[in-house]
Amino acid sequence: MQKPRFLTRRPLRVGFLMAAIVGMLAACSIAPVVQTPPTSSPSPVPVPSMDDTRPLPPALVREQSRWVPVRWAELPGMDTDAVNEAWPAWLQSCQRPIPDWRALCPEIAQLANASANEQRRWMREKLQPYRIETLDQRTQGLLTGYYEPALTGSRQAQGAFKVPLYAPPAQLGQRKPWFSRQEMETLPAARAALRGKELLYLADPVDAMVLHIQGSGLVNVTEPDGRQRWVRMAFAATNDQPYKSIGRWLLDRKLITDANWPGIKAWIDRNPSRVNELLWQNPRVVFFREEALPVGITPPGPKGAQGVPLTAERSIAVDRRSIPYGTPVWMKSTGPQTSFDRLVLAQDTGTAIVGAVRADYYAGSGPAAGELAGRLKQPLQLWALWPR
């Protein structure tokens, strides 16, 4: 998925989404290499508790990470996190389990309605925690966030609703990269190729840009019969142009001093005649497909790269060369406004999510999720939980 990294981040996500225009972004498992544990560890392991005294297994080396076995006592917040809130995400991953997890998925399902303490006891018995490090043994990384915008749109170009969201054009594969954002809006050949591919219309071109960066979004539309309903604009393809941050463009020209979304929006409000100039700095465009959503219930999350719906505040995007999809991960991150010690599931990826200790936190849908995702850019530690 992709997201608006409040404007300094990323091209889009393979499976799906991306948190504000600035910050910028199956089921397969890379066989680990067993490595003999070193005689000394770069960071000390706490004294184990009385119920956590089994011999530690050897370290594991994956393509882009090193997993060092640790005691459960090392995981911060393990005894206080509401791990039951992560269980729905875990059940989703068990819909498409990698081989290592198939045997345990029935037990995970049986624990769906258990208490958090019962779930914790099962985890300690069945799983081994591993501290995730870079191949050169660095344990600190970066956490960012992404979300799914919730917007209002129209089936027809009418009134203020004049900004189209497109399905992939038939000729998309005939030209790589395809036309840029500016070319799509100005060249007759590009406009002709897009004719009839309009899915929905938005009122604000900046909202459309956010949707392109996030890679997916919810849109409330009024149907011809007058009923309103939510539909999802899900990622289908891109024009293969590079992502370039409009926030960075504004910073480089000293037009703003902080590339957060309020600052960018304030500049846009002061300079309405320069909106196209600004948006054209990012040539990358996303094409969508429409997903119908159930009526009358909270829409499920968008599908991540694992192929299962994401769970707000319990799904993360990772570099799958470091962490296989479907892996439960213990995450610690402390920032100036937000701190996390919690269980999450690795269920998505993104082109900007590269490295061993790197994660993108799915904050959910709508404005509050966007606010959370947009302010996340802080230190991170990760522990993989793996079957014994």
Place 4 in a pLDDT band, splitting at 50, 70 and 90. very low
In angstroms, the first-to-last Cα distance of the chain is 31
- For residue 203, give its domain range: 6-25+150-292
Q: What is the pLDDT, as a whole number, of residue 1?
A: 53
Place 336 in a pLDDT band, splitting at 50, 70 and 90. confident
Cβ–Cβ < 8 Å for 48, 334: no
Q: What is the pLDDT, as a whole number, of residue 49?
A: 45
Checking if the pLDDT of 30 tops 70, the result is no
Q: What is the pLDDT, as a whole number, of residue 272?
A: 93
For residue 279 the two structure tokens come to: 């948006």
In a domain, 33, yes or no: no
Q: What is the CATH number of the domain that holds 365?
A: 2.40.40.10
For residue 321, count other CB atoms closer than 10 A to its CB: 15
What SS3 state is found at 289?
Answer: strand
Place 51 in a pLDDT band, splitting at 50, 70 and 90. low
Q: What is the pLDDT, as a whole number, of residue 296?
A: 66
Query: Does one domain contain both 154 and 229?
Result: yes
Query: Does one domain contain both 327 and 360?
Result: yes
Q: Is the dihedral of CA 116, 122, 125, 129 positive or negative?
A: negative
145-161 residue pLDDT tens: 999 999 999 999 999 99
Query: Does one domain contain both 287 and 324?
Result: no
Checking if the pLDDT of 236 tops 90, the result is yes
Q: What is the CATH number of the domain that holds 181?
A: 2.40.240.50
Q: What is the pLDDT, as a whole number, of residue 41?
A: 38
Backbone angles phi, psi at 292, to 5 degrees: -70, 145
Q: Give 44's contacts (C-beta < 8 A, 6+ positions apart).
A: none
Q: What is the mean pLDDT of residues 211-235?
A: 88
For residue 37, count other CB atoms closer than 10 A to its CB: 12
Q: What is the mean pLDDT of residues 176-198?
A: 96
For residue 348 the two structure tokens come to: 């998505």
Q: How far apart are CA 23 and CA 350, in angstroms?
A: 13
For residue 127, count other CB atoms closer than 10 A to its CB: 16
Place 107 in a pLDDT band, splitting at 50, 70 and 90. very high
For residue 135, the surrounding DSSP H or E stretch is none
Q: Can you give the length of the chain in residues? A: 388
Query: Does one domain contain both 338 and 195?
Result: no
Q: What is the mean pLDDT of residues 271-288?
A: 95
Q: How far apart are CA 51 and CA 286, in angstroms?
A: 51
CA-angle at 132, arms to 129 and 133, nearest 5°:
150
Last residue of a domain, one of 292, 313, 346: 292
Query: Does one domain contain both 227 and 266?
Result: yes
In a domain, 50, yes or no: no
Q: How far apart are CA 327 and CA 345, in angstroms?
A: 6
In a domain, 297, yes or no: no
Nearest-CA neighbor of 132 among 220, 70, 216?
70
Cβ–Cβ < 8 Å for 127, 386: yes
Query: Does one domain contain both 265 and 160?
Result: yes
Using alpha carbons, list the distances in angstroms from residue 171 to 29, 163, 181.
Answer: 34, 21, 16
129-145 residue pLDDT tens: 999 999 999 999 999 99
User: Environment class of residue 229 by beta-carbon count within 10 Å: exposed (0-12), middle (13-18) or buried (19+)?
Assistant: middle
For residue 38, count other CB atoms closer than 10 A to its CB: 10
In a domain, 340, yes or no: yes
Place 188 in a pLDDT band, splitting at 50, 70 and 90. very high
Checking if the pLDDT of 247 tops 80, the result is yes
Torsion of the alpha carbons at 151, 166, 281 and 143, rounded to the nearest 10: 50
Using alpha carbons, list the distances in angstroms from residue 353 to 269, 320, 349.
Answer: 32, 9, 6
Checking if the pLDDT of 167 tops 50, the result is yes
What is the pLDDT of the chain when averaged over all its residues? 86
Query: Does one domain contain both 258 and 353?
Result: no
What is the DSSP-derived secondary structure letter of residue 326? T
In a domain, 39, yes or no: no
- The total number of structural domains in the chain stands at 2
H helices of 142-272, in order, are 181-186, 188-194, 205-214, 246-252, 261-270
